[in-house]
Amino acid sequence: MKHSLVFVATTPFAVNAFLLTHLLALAKTHEVTLCVNTTTYPLAEEVARAVRVRHIDIARKISPWQDLHALFQLLRCFREIRPATVHSLTPKAGLLAMLAGWLTGVPLRFHTFTGQVWATRTGFGRSLLKGIDRLITLCASQVFADSASQCRFLEEEAVVRRGGISVLGQGSVAGVDLARFRPDPVARAALRAETGVADVEPVFLFVGRLVRDKGVFDLVEAFAALSVKHEQWELWVVGPDEEGLQAALQADGERLGARIRWFGPTLVPERYMAAADVFVLPSYREGFGSVIIEAAACGIPSIAYRIDGVIDAIVDGHTGLFVDKGNVQGISDAMNRLGAEISTRKTLGEAAHLRASNKFSSASVSSAWLDFYSSVLWGEA
């Protein structure tokens, strides 16, 4: 018997990053529908071929009329499909999907938290967004997080009851595709030749959305401090400019004399990871930091702020280095250390690769998802 499963996400960016392997695996034995705003970012072709895609006008930011329209779209979709389960990812998609699922009587309603947008907020904004997460939990049959530390955080903040949230597998939503993300000397040589960067010169890499919470201004400032002494060292920034920050970031970098390349969004982040030496993520909030595990699988260590979620992705001093949140000088010092100490970054990179391969392969995480869905759907059959 094929069950009808619906997954809801705000943008294809999240689908490509977190759901791709799970959707492909589940689509082999179930009827899978993906509800997502298809206008915001390219959806991976293999997903578009494997599942039914429904465009839903979900906005990332609060937009009452558009949000109401998206809710009605989901209500119509769920009434038409009558799915056995609906599973949401990302905050806005979670709110709309869990409400629509509850209103239409979808038997099993799941949501996965991947970091809290309110974690860095204060005042009314924090209370409002936190209240939305509580509403998601109330409307859901079961909720998950992508790391153990995120579970603890959500319990401590009373978003979920004690013991009311869990992690599928070892952590992370997607794990890492070891066939894609791996040390690749050929790809490294090709991109280094294309950019004209000598193999001996360290390249620091950021991959992610250009948003303030990712610490992108901290990153530019920290790297600029290194450029005074190390003019040939480079920082590569890869990712979509979702908040329109790139112009200001570029201006800061140029004013400070930093050697930064801006590559924009990509569907092949592994190409840049294979060519880089150190991954840097000075994020102020993360669910897990899956991109850190992807970089680790490519054999490069990471530098990051010590925050919930990321503390599950890096073993300090073994697969990367932690810096206290907001310590820009600390990020700069850590970058200086790994840029200069080739043997240290090689040792950390090898350990990171081994840990990513052993604990966070996409195959193992997808297996945990498949086991979970088999258990709940068998119980519903």
- Side-chain half-sphere of 89: how many Cα atoms within 13 Å? 25
The pLDDT score that the predictor gives to residue 273 is 97
Helix (H, G, I), strand (E, B) or coil at 8: strand
Q: What percent of the chain has pLDDT over 70?
A: 99
Does the pLDDT at position 318 exceed 80? yes
Local confidence band at 66 (pLDDT 50, 70, 90 cut-offs)? very high
Mark whether 282 and 329 lie in a shared domain.
yes
Within a domain: 180: no
Mark whether 152 and 237 lie in a shared domain.
no
Mark whether 195 and 142 lie in a shared domain.
no
Look up the CATH number of the domain holding residue 333.
3.40.50.2000
What span, in angstroms and rounded, lies between the C-alpha atoms of 305 and 45?
Answer: 34
What span, in angstroms and rounded, lies between the C-alpha atoms of 226 and 221?
Answer: 9
The pLDDT score that the predictor gives to residue 381 is 41
Beta strands in the chain (DSSP E): 4-8, 31-36, 52-55, 85-89, 108-113, 142-145, 165-166, 203-207, 234-238, 260-264, 278-281, 302-305, 320-323
Does the pLDDT at position 187 exceed 50? yes
The mean pLDDT value for 121-141 works out to 93
Within a domain: 289: yes
Mark whether 333 and 198 lie in a shared domain.
yes
Within a domain: 98: yes
pLDDT in tens, 325-372: 999 999 999 999 999 999 999 999 999 999 999 999 988 888 899 999
Q: What's the order of all strands across the beta sheet hosting 52-55?
A: 52-55, 31-36, 4-8, 85-89, 108-113, 142-145, 165-166
What span, in angstroms and rounded, lies between the C-alpha atoms of 222 and 212?
Answer: 15
Mark whether 81 and 114 lie in a shared domain.
yes
Mark whether 245 and 199 lie in a shared domain.
yes
Q: Is the model's pTM score more than 0.85?
A: no
Give 287 or 34, the one with higher predicted confidence.
34
Mark whether 170 and 260 lie in a shared domain.
no
Residue type, 86: V
Mark whether 162 and 96 lie in a shared domain.
yes
The pLDDT score that the predictor gives to residue 16 is 87
Mark whether 43 and 151 lie in a shared domain.
yes
The mean pLDDT value for 296-306 works out to 97
Local confidence band at 63 (pLDDT 50, 70, 90 cut-offs)? confident
Query: Which residues constitute the domain of residue 155?
Result: 4-175+362-380
Mark whether 264 and 353 lie in a shared domain.
yes
Mean pLDDT score across all residues of the chain: 92
Mark whether 347 and 268 lie in a shared domain.
yes
Within a domain: 81: yes
The mean pLDDT value for 177-189 works out to 95
Mark whether 12 and 143 lie in a shared domain.
yes
Total number of domains constituting the chain: 2
Does the pLDDT at position 247 exceed 60? yes
Does the pLDDT at position 1 exceed 80? no
Beta bridge pairs of residue 304: 281, 322
The pLDDT score that the predictor gives to residue 289 is 82
Other beta carbons within 10 angstroms of residue 235's beta carbon come to 26
Give 254 or 325, the one with higher predicted confidence.
325
pLDDT in tens, 192-220: 999 999 999 999 999 998 999 999 999 99
The pLDDT score that the predictor gives to residue 235 is 96
pLDDT in tens, 2-43: 899 999 999 998 898 888 889 999 999 999 999 999 998 889
